[in-house]
Amino acid sequence: MKLWQALTEKSWLEEGIPPAPTASLAQRRFLSQRTALGLFLAIATILFSLFAVTYLTHSQYPGFLALTGEAWRPLGDLSQLWINTALLVTSSLLMQWSLNNARAGKPALSAGTLLGAALFALQFLVAQLWFWQQLNGMGYGVTSNPSSSYFFLFTGVHGLHLLGGVIVLYSPLSHMWRASGAVPIINSLRLCTLYWHYLLSIWLLLFLLLTRSPETYRVLAALCGVEA
């Protein structure tokens, strides 16, 4: 509604200054960062969506062999991936806890849980790499079939996003180290937490997508209008 009002303004009729926003410097800084992060998440969403649509298209070609299905298929046993997922969930929870601690005025606990979140995220990445090795060892390398190519592609791109996130944790950590005051720390953590939860959601969706049966792919592809 606000946007509609803005876009229907008759600017040629009106003169004068509308009331200026009263946001403080820190608030304006945070709003800018949040806007940029929101845009970045929109871009990342499009990136993953496009990969996913091409995956569904590929899933309808005759040579595509889904990774799941029979027990002997590489993703017949998902226990390893569930463990990896648990690592990322823990990382996300710790990140939220860190934010909550910062809000509650417990900087030491906040820093500790933040480091914990980073550690679990890195552990998730190592576990994913280990799973890559396992798949490769089973004969499902990156070139063996489009389905496994996509597994490496999806997890690789997701992993790079997470790695980027871990590097950006430098920001709240440096605020904590310099004891910059509660507001910059909380604002910084709010953005990191949003990014962490976003990457967790993306991973859950990828997990769901990569482990479906050929029948489900057929239905999804039909819904997207890309059936063979």
Partner 1 sequence: MKYTAIADQPVESHEPSGFISKYVWSQDHKVIAIQYGATAIFVGLVAVVLSGLMRLQLGFPDTFDFINPNTYLQFVTMHGMIMVIYLLTAILLGGFGNYLVPLMIGARDMAFPYLNMLSYWTYLLAVLVLLASFFVPEGPTGAGWTLYPPQTILEGTPGHDWGIIFMLVSLAIFIVAFTMGGLNYVTTILQARAPGMTLMRMPLTLWGIFIATIMGLLAFPALLVSAIMMLMDKVVGTSFFMPALMSLGESVDYSDGSPLLFQHLFWFFGHPEVYIVALPAFGIVSDILATHARKNIFGYRMMVWAIVIIGLLSFVVWAHHMYVSGMNPTFGFFFATTTLIIAVPTAIKVYNWLLTLWRGDIHLTVPMLFAIGFIFTFTHGGLSGLFLGNVVVDLPLSDTYFVVAHFHMVMGVSPVLVLFAAVYHWYPLITGRQLHRGLGRLHFWVTFLGTYAIFLPMHYLGFLGVPRRYYAMGETDFIPESAQSLNASITVSALIVGLAQLIFLANLIWSLKQGRRSEPNPWKANTLEWQTPDLPPRHGNWGEQLPRVYRWAYAYSVPGCKDDYIPQNLPPERVEKLEPAEASKEKPE
What DSSP string describes 99-151? HHHHHTT-HHHHHHHHHHHHHHHHHHHHHHHHHHHHHHHTT--TTT-HHHHHH
Q: Is 129 a binder of partner 1 (CB under 8 A)?
A: no
DSSP-assigned letter for residue 73: S
Minimum CB–partner distance for residue 26 and partner 1 (Å)? 8
d(CA 142, CA 148): 6
d(CA 144, CA 136): 9
Q: Is 39 a binder of partner 1 (CB under 8 A)?
A: yes
Minimum CB–partner distance for residue 82 and partner 1 (Å)? 27
Give the other-Cβ count within 10 Å of 66's Cβ: 20
SS3 227: coil
Minimum CB–partner distance for residue 123 and partner 1 (Å)? 26
Q: Is 20 a binder of partner 1 (CB under 8 A)?
A: yes
| 1, 61, 139, 179: which one binds partner 1 (CB under 8 A) | 61
Minimum CB–partner distance for residue 182 and partner 1 (Å)? 18
Q: Interface with partner 1 by CB under 8 A: which residues?
A: 6-12, 14-18, 20, 25-26, 28-29, 31-33, 35-36, 39-40, 42-43, 46-47, 50-51, 54, 57-58, 61-64, 142-143, 145-146, 149, 153, 157, 171
